[in-house]
Structure formats: C-alpha cells, structure tokens
Amino acid sequence: MSSFRVEVVYALPDRQTILVCEVAEGATVRQSVIASGVLKAHPEIDLDSAEFGIWSERVAQDCLVRDGDRVEIYRPLIADPKLVRRKRAREDRSRRGK
C-alpha cells in the first residue's frame, strides 16, 4: 500500500500549528489528525466533537484524504458572527445618530 503526505492545521487566535505527516492510502481525516501528532501539541482538542475541513470545505471525520490535502481542525465559535455584525451595525447607527 502506498503512502502520501497531508498537512494538518490548527489555528489559535495568536498562533497556528501546521504539521505535515505521511499517511497510508485510504486514510481518513481522523487518522490523519492522529498521525500528525497535533493532539499531543494541543491536548485541548476534543477529537470526538471537533469539526474538520479540507481546504476550507467542511468534511466528516471519516472522509478520505488525498495527497497534498490540508486538513483543518476548527475550534468552536465563541460568538455567532451574524449576531456580532448586527450588534456592531446597531452601535454604529446609534453613534452616527448622536
């Protein structure tokens, strides 16, 4: 069975971790994340509840990876972006109105 390289990325507000690992043909996103060692570097990642993407497109943990894929581990949102934008727009309107 042949192997290939994938990149696993985990970003925090102040830094990002990018690890390249070699996986066997037929490897999944989950297997790639484990093989990369990112869980040792970031023990706060809950593999069972985390969401993943390949090149910014959300995928399931059991999605197969291909040579050169960039597997992204997404952190949970702390605020709904739509609500934040609405709040900011309201505040801007109220400041302009005064």
Q: Contact, 4 vs 66, CB < 8 A?
A: yes
Instruction: Find the range with the poorest average confidence among 1-5, 55-59, 80-84.
Output: 80-84
Which residue, 79, 15, 77, 70, is CA-closest to 42?
Answer: 15
Q: 3-97, what's its fold? A: Ubiquitin-like (UB roll) (3.10.20)
Q: Output the pTM of the full model.
A: 0.77
pLDDT digits (tens, 9 = 90+) for 39-76: 999 999 999 999 999 999 999 999 999 999 999 999 87
DSSP E strand stretches across 1-98:
3-11, 16-24, 51-54, 57-59, 70-74
Pairing of strands 70-74, 3-11: parallel
Q: Could you read off the pLDDT of 14-39 as tens digits, one per residue?
A: 999 999 999 999 999 999 999 999 99
Quote the pLDDT of residue 80.
74
Largest CA distance in the chain: 69
